[in-house]
Structure formats: structure tokens, C-alpha cells
Chains A and B, each alone.
Chain A
Amino acid sequence: MSESESAMHGQGALAEGSPYAIPSRKLTMWLFIISDAVTFGAFLFAYGYIRVATPNWTRPFETASVINVTLMTFVLITSSLTMQGAVDAAKAGDKPKAMRFLYSTMALGAIFAALHIREWFELFSRKITLSSGLFGQTFFTITGLHLLHVISGVIALLVIAGGYSRNRLTPGYVETVGLYWHFVDLVWMFVVPLVYLTNIAVAH
């Protein structure tokens, strides 16, 4: 019996099947994702209103930063594709291929984090920090929270990949951590336009 069927019919006589026909692990991840989405939503709404309400807002990003963030976005979207490859290969029972995709996803996540930190140091060199004003406070809070999610995701992938390669974890775990990874990608799709692309330096 597959995990979905088990979830639907229940494992024992007293167990009640899931109304969504998904394992409880996956439903828990969905609920976590929703609560996390609301957390990011609160930060982005706060940023949006402060941004619009503040005259003379700092707009520090020049072409080099836009190229960097384009590269970061490319890396993160590609990591979602490799994650999808890992999930599908795991479901198909192709463990070596799933592991290759998982390692690729982790490597892309690490590259993304490195590019992100490079961007931060570039801002530090221009005296833009967490304490340098409203832009610094909102920018470093939102991107810091996202970076924390990426780093957590890489660690989670490492743990799941280790368990899956030793047959301690089922492909369902790969799918569940995949949901989290796609969510991190999805949040970035809001962070980039709101936090980076509306703050490009105006040429005079």
C-alpha cells in the first residue's frame, strides 16, 4: 500500500484516513508553509507600507547588484527544478539519480547563500547596515529571514539525503522537504521585486 493509500484508508481499524489523502507529514509541512507564508507576508506588507510612506527612500542598487540578484534568482529557480527531479526520481525508485539531484539542489542552495552574503558585504562596504536607517532595517530583516530559510533548507536536505541514502527514510520524506524548498523559492519571487527591483538607483 502506498503512503497516499495508507493515509486515505488508515493504518489500523481505529485510525481515521486523511481527508486530503496525503500523509500527515506532508499535511504538517503544508500547514508550516502556510504559517511561514503569513510571516513573510507580514514582513513584506510592513516593508511595503514603510517604503511608500517614506520620502527620500534609499535606492542603493546599481546594475552590478541587479546582475547579482538575477544570478541568484536563476540559481534558486534552477534548484527548484533539480529538487523536482530528486522527488520524481525518488518516487520512481531511482535512488542514485535522486541523490545526484539532491546534491545538485544543495550545491545550488549553497551558491545562492554565497551570492547573497556577497551582496550583503557590498552593502556593508557602502555603510548600509541593519542600523543605518529604515532601508537597512527592512532589507536585512527580510533578506536575512529568507537566507535563514535557505540555509535551514540546505541542512534539512543534507539530513534527508543522508537518511534516504541509508534506507532509513522513504521517498515521501524527499517529497516533503521538496515542498519546503519550493516554498523558499516562491518567497524569493516576492522578495526580489519588492525589496530589490523597486530600489534601483535612479540615474540623474
Chain B
Amino acid sequence: MSVASGNVIRKYLPVYFVLLAIFLVEVFLSFRQLATGTLVVLLLLLAICSAGLGLMYFMHLAEERRGLFLTLIPVTIFVLLMMNMFWPDSVRLLHMRSPAQ
């Protein structure tokens, strides 16, 4: 039994090291003199890669029925994208305040 669980830990070590490597790349990029927008986009892309690995392997979503993935993930992405539509409006409203405020 303990041999089996030891093997499983070894199975997840590559994912663990990839996650650490992605983080180190993020730190490296943050010390480069990049424009804020470019830096945010690059860091977000790397964060999405990390999250995908965590979701699929540590949280075993890859091993569950595809129906679970299709029920949970597209809806979440849709809601997050809708937030992306709404938030620019909220920032625009900040700039619409009257000068007296």
C-alpha cells in the first residue's frame, strides 16, 4: 500500500516542478522592464497554465467524467468573461464623477 502511494507522489512530482518553474518564470518576467499591460497579459497566461495543471492533475478533473468538466468550467469562464465586460463600465463611471466630487 505504501509503495503504491509512494508511486503516486512520484507521479505528481513532474507537475509540481512545472508549477515551480512557471512561478520562477513569472518572477523573472516581473523584473524585466516590460510595459504594465504586456506584463499583466504574460503573467495571466502563465497563471492560467498553472491553474490548468492544478485543476487537471492535482484536482483530478482530467480523470473525472467529461460531463463534470463541461458543466463546471465553461460556465465559470463565461461568468469571468462577463465580469470583464462589466468592469470597464465601472471604471468608466469613476471618471464620470463631477469635478466637485
Contacts and interface: CB of A to CB of B under 8 A. Distances in A.
Interface of A: 19-22, 27, 30-31, 34, 37-38, 41-42, 45-46, 48-53, 66, 70, 73-74, 77-78, 80-81, 83-85, 88-89, 92-94, 97, 179, 182-183, 185-186, 189-190, 192-194, 197-198, 200
Interface in B55-95: 55, 58-59, 64-65, 67-68, 71-72, 75-76, 79-80, 83-84, 87-88, 90-91, 94-95
B9 A197 contact: no
A74 B4 CA distance: 26
Contact of B5 (A31, A89, A189): A89
Given A38-B79, A45-B83, A45-B84, A189 B9 contact: no
Interface in B33-55: 36-37, 39-40, 43-44, 46-47, 50-51, 54-55
B2 interface: yes
Interface of B: 1-2, 4-5, 8-9, 12-13, 16, 19-20, 23-24, 26-27, 29-31, 36-37, 39-40, 43-44, 46-47, 50-51, 54-55, 58-59, 64-65, 67-68, 71-72, 75-76, 79-80, 83-84, 87-88, 90-91, 94-95
A110 B40 CA distance: 30
Contacts of B39: 197-198
Given A34-B76, A52-B36, A182-B58, A189 B47 contact: yes
B46 to A, nearest CB: 7
A41 B58 contact: no
A182 to B, nearest CB: 4
